[in-house]
């Protein structure tokens, strides 16, 4: 990871494994993913659910209160 202001290398990623990189309040962090963890986008999750046999339906226009 290179800091843009001065091009200093501030972190080198490990060569092996899978890592989740995220940012909270401007601070970038990373952690290794566990073997059983998967990361999906919303579209990826919808495709995964369909392959498992779930039927995806949009919400109703009628909202009961």
Closest CA to 41 of 33, 49, 52: 49
User: In a 10 Å sphere around its CB, with 0-12 CB exposed, 13-18 middle and 19+ buried, how is residue 41 labelled?
Assistant: exposed
- Domain boundaries of the chain, sorted by first residue: 1-58
The pTM of this model reads 0.51
CB 28 within 8 A of CB 34: no
* Three-state secondary structure call for residue 40: coil
Tell me the β-bridge partners of 24.
Answer: 27
Angle at 3 between CA 40 and CA 15, to 5 degrees: 55
Digit-by-digit pLDDT tens for the chain (65 residues) are 888 899 999 888 777 889 998 999 988 888 999 999 989 999 999 999 999 999 988 877 777 66
């Amino acid at each position: 990871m290179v800091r843009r202001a001065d091009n200093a290398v501030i972190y080198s990623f490990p060569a092996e494994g899978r890592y989740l990189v995220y940012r909270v309040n401007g601070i970038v962090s990373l952690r290794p993913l566990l073997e059983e963890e998967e990361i999906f986008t919303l579209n990826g999750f919808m495709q995964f659910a369909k392959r498992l046999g779930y039927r995806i339906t949009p919400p109703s226009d009628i909202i009961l209160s």
